Amino acid sequence: MGAVNMKKTGAWLTVYALEQIGVTRTFGIPGLQNTEIYDELNSSDKIQPVLVTHEGGASFMADAVSRTSSSIGTLVIVPSAGVTHAMSGIGEAFLDGIPMLIISGGVRRDTGKSYQLHQWDQHRLLEAATKKTWLIEKHEEIVPTIYEAYRTAISGEPGPVFIEIPVEIQLFKAEINNLPAFVFDEPKHNVDMEKIKAAAEILAAAKNPGMFIGWGCRDATDSCIKMAELLESPVSTTLQGLSVFPASHPLHTGMGFGPSAVPCAENAFIDCDCLLAVGTRFAEIPTGSFGVKVPENLIHIDINPNVFNKNYPARVAIEGDAGLVIDQILQYMVSSELKTQKKNDSIRKKIAGDKAEYLDSWKKLKTDKVNPALFFEKLRTRLRDDDIMVVDDGNHTFLAAELFPVLKSKHFISPSDFNCMGYCVPAAIGAKLVNPEKQVAGIVGDGAFLMTCMEILTASTLNAGIVYFVFHDGELAQIAQGQQIPYNRKTCSILGDVKLQGVAMATGAAFVEMKKNEEIEICMDKAFGLALMGQPVIVDVKIDYSRKTRFTQGVVSTVLKRFPLGDKFRFIGRAVLRKIIG
């Protein structure tokens, strides 16, 4: 709009700026110090303000918007209490590298009064969980600050940003002489070509190279496939990056590659002499509590240079965008004739055989409940490649990682490094709102479901037809299994007897009960049929958790091995004794 001469309120300027950066929805709850912004949002024909039942749900919805669309997830919340409620989702976004724009009101600064409602230095709290925070001092700062905040959130390693706009600036008008349009120039990444050459030569010389890729490769799937096929290397992913390499590709092995990975991954990487790691931090979950063996020839690529050499030393560390760096390595290898594409049928056959054998072993699980392998097999046939799955934190997460083939990037989302329970229910709503043409399925354990299940009321209000498959076993299963192995007993991990049908009734959702294998297909068909009508559905899945995932077994074993010998015998002896005496 450029040079202008007009009087505008801070609330009007806020909504104008949000429209310019492409925000389509805001999430939050109106209150004393942000009602003026909400009134302006109500007049916008580009932004839909979404009322939630809890700001924690709002932040998870915003997180999913950023993960599954080109728009940035945006919160408009009250200060202090709204911020602390939203902190779980803000923390998840911060550690997982997800852009998020958080706008809160602020107490009045023109009255001279102290101890106002919500008066508190929220910037000190948010300093540890955002890339940057801003306090608006005057009207003319609002538009350029929102633009700067947006650029900060999406640049480099993405993350959340926070802006506080005091009440008097929202309410009152001021003369505005400039109303700039938003312009964003993609930052230029200058990659060190000497490192590109070094990486290419190491990869070309490797006998058994492997690839380990994470969320940083979410827009580089094609480049990752080209590299894998040139190297003829097995490919494993992080949990967060589970979708970035299609499970249908014959070189795909699954999450991780150590003792906590599925057999095909562990076997494929057992002789790995060079690892190309891209867009990953080597965090605790995908490494199985740091139980993976990483070769000396580690080539580590990430847009955030702070991740290098933290857990595993890199022989070559390259800062830059994942797709750009991979493409430059590929170009150099091909142009220099360091490597020519040669298909290795033996490794592909070995991966396929190991996958089939592992799945078959799960299918043989005899149960009068629902077999996880059969459940995920039937679910895969009922979802299109570009439908979206949202999971939470818990045992179901790793069952999904091991048993559900994900085929399209950014179509499987999960809490990861912050590892926050309660993610799935609201995140699925965020994903559905920005992908209305796609089916969204949530997989959530009953413990995580209880944390945010009332947010399904928001889905009902917005006619968001989401199917929530609640894995109902009456325990915090991941922790309960983690306790059972070393302690031979469970403490504070047994849930109360929740009636999920009552939750459905309270939130306006439909209810379906799946009690055994024979009911899987008919229940899924019924649930997805109801969802197509715009109604959320809760499916009570009586899941069989008796068999532990490779992840659970591997992590417990890895952690126990690190114990001092005396403590190791003490833990094992205590578990054996408790088993004997019951």
User: Which pLDDT does position 582 carry in this prediction?
Assistant: 62
- Mean pLDDT in residue range 142-154: 97
> Taking a C-beta distance cutoff of 8 angstroms, is the pair 251, 232 a contact?
yes
Whether residue 479 has pLDDT greater than 70: yes
Q: Residue with structure tokens 């299609």?
A: 246
User: Which pLDDT does position 269 carry in this prediction?
Assistant: 97
Put residue 184 in one of left, alpha, beta given phi > 0 → left and psi -120 to 50 → alpha.
beta
Q: In this structure, are strands 100-106 and 316-319 parallel, antiparallel, or unpaired?
A: unpaired
- Residue 50, SS3 per DSSP: strand
Report how far residue 376's alpha carbon sits from residue 26's, in angstroms, rounded to the nearest whole number: 33
> Taking a C-beta distance cutoff of 8 angstroms, is the pair 164, 135 a contact?
yes
With a CB cutoff of 8 Å and minimum separation 6, the contacts of 580 are: none
- Mean pLDDT in residue range 232-240: 97
- Mean pLDDT in residue range 195-200: 96
| Residue at 286: amino acid letter | P
Distances (CA, A) of 348 to 344, 355, 552: 7, 11, 26
Q: What is the pLDDT of residues 559-571, one digit of tens each?
A: 878 878 777 667 7
Backbone torsions φ then ψ of 348, nearest 5 degrees: -65, -40
> Taking a C-beta distance cutoff of 8 angstroms, is the pair 514, 544 a contact?
no
Q: Which residue in 53, 14, 48 sits closest to 33, CA to CA?
A: 14
- Mean pLDDT in residue range 392-413: 96
Count Cβ atoms below 10 Å from residue 393 Cβ, excluding itself: 26
Confidence of residue 1 (pLDDT cuts 50, 70, 90): low
Tokens matching residue 257: 């590659």
Q: How many CA atoms lie within 13 A of 28 on its CB side?
A: 29
User: Which pLDDT does position 562 carry in this prediction?
Assistant: 82
User: Which pLDDT does position 557 carry in this prediction?
Assistant: 85
More confident: 574 or 508:
508
Whether residue 363 has pLDDT greater than 80: yes
Q: What angle do CA 549, 384, 422 make, to 5 degrees?
A: 50
User: Which pLDDT does position 343 carry in this prediction?
Assistant: 78
Fold match between 193-350 and 365-551? yes
More confident: 201 or 486:
201
Whether residue 577 has pLDDT greater than 70: no
Confidence of residue 4 (pLDDT cuts 50, 70, 90): low
User: Which pLDDT does position 531 carry in this prediction?
Assistant: 98
| Residue at 388: amino acid letter | I
User: Which pLDDT does position 3 carry in this prediction?
Assistant: 63
DSSP string, 269-316: TTT--EEEEES----TTTTTTTT----S-EEEEES-GGGTTSSS--SE
User: Which pLDDT does position 233 carry in this prediction?
Assistant: 96
Helix or strand (DSSP H, E) at 74 = strand 73-77
Calculate the average pLDDT of the chain: 93
- The highest-level CATH class for domain 2-179 is alpha beta
What sign for the dihedral angle of Cα 341, 342, 347, 352? positive
Tell me, which fold does domain 193-350 have in CATH? Rossmann fold (3.40.50)
The structure's pTM equals 0.94
- Mean pLDDT in residue range 272-299: 96
Q: What angle do CA 250, 251, 254 make, to 5 degrees?
A: 105
Question: Which superfamily does 365-551 belong to?
Answer: Thiamin diphosphate (ThDP)-binding fold, Pyr/PP domains (3.40.50.970)
Radius of gyration of the chain (CA): 25
Confidence of residue 236 (pLDDT cuts 50, 70, 90): very high
Q: Which residue in 88, 78, 80 sits closest to 393, CA to CA?
A: 88
- The secondary structure of 329-356, three-state, reads HHHHHHHCCCCCCCCCHHHHHHHHHHHH
Give the N- to C-terminal CA distance of the chain in Å, as an integer: 75
- Residue 480, SS3 per DSSP: helix
Distances (CA, A) of 374 to 245, 392, 442, 523: 23, 20, 17, 13
> Taking a C-beta distance cutoff of 8 angstroms, is the pair 531, 523 a contact?
no
> Taking a C-beta distance cutoff of 8 angstroms, is the pair 59, 86 a contact?
yes
User: Which pLDDT does position 198 carry in this prediction?
Assistant: 96
Whether residue 490 has pLDDT greater than 90: no
More confident: 459 or 486:
459
Ordered by start, the domain boundaries in the chain are: 2-179, 193-350, 365-551
Q: Which residue in 548, 247, 244, 238 sits closest to 399, CA to CA?
A: 548
What is the share, in percent, of the chain residues with pLDDT greater than 70?
A: 97
Q: What angle do CA 227, 228, 231 make, to 5 degrees?
A: 85
> Taking a C-beta distance cutoff of 8 angstroms, is the pair 244, 217 a contact?
yes
More confident: 571 or 461:
461
Whether residue 337 has pLDDT greater than 90: no
Confidence of residue 475 (pLDDT cuts 50, 70, 90): confident
Confidence of residue 40 (pLDDT cuts 50, 70, 90): very high
Bridge partners of 175, per DSSP, are: 7
